[in-house]
Amino acid sequence: MKKEVTLVITVCLFLLAYVLDYFAGSINLGLINPMDFLNQTYFKLYPMTFVAVIIRSVAITLSTTLVLSIMERQFFKKMIISLFLGFVAEIYAFQILATGAKVTPTLWTLAISYGGALLIIPIAFYIFASIADFLIPQRKNATHLPTNQTDNSSSVLNP
pLDDT digit string, tens, across residues 7-48? 999 999 999 999 999 999 888 888 888 999 998 988 899 999
Say if residue 153's pLDDT is above 60: no
Look at the chain and report how many structural domains it folds into.
Answer: 1
Q: What is the pLDDT of residue 32?
A: 87
147 domain residue, yes or no: no
Whether the pLDDT of residue 137 is over 60: the answer is yes
**Axis crossing angle, helix 75-99 with helix 106-118, rounded to the nearest 10:** 150
Report the 10 Å Cβ neighbour count for 17. 24
Say how many residues make up the chain: 159
All residues at 6 or more sequence positions from 116 whose CB lies less than 8 Å from its CB, including other chains:
85, 86, 87, 88, 89, 90, 93
Q: What is the pLDDT of residue 125?
A: 96
pLDDT tens, residue by residue, 74-121: 999 999 999 999 999 999 999 999 998 889 999 999 999 999 999 999
Domain range spanning residue 123?
Answer: 2-135
Q: Is 145 inside any structural domain?
A: no
Identify whether 156 is part of a domain: no
Q: What is the mean pLDDT of residues 151-158?
A: 58
Answer whether residue 15 is part of any domain. Answer: yes
- What's the count of helices (H) and strands (E) in the chain, helices before strands? 6, 0
Establish if 113 belongs to a structural domain.
yes
**96 within 8 A of 109, measured Cβ to Cβ:** yes
* pLDDT of 61 strictly over 90: yes
- 157 within some domain: no
* CB neighbours of residue 147 within 10 Å: 5
Rounded-to-integer distance, Cα 115 and Cα 106, Å: 14
Q: What is the reported pLDDT for 145? A: 54
What single-letter DSSP state applies at residue 139? P
* pTM of the entire predicted model: 0.82
Tell me which DSSP letter residue 138 carries.
Answer: P
The whole-number pLDDT of residue 72 equals 87
131 found inside a domain? yes
Instruction: Provide CB contacts within 8 A for 88, sequence distance 6+.
Output: 116
101 is a domain residue: yes
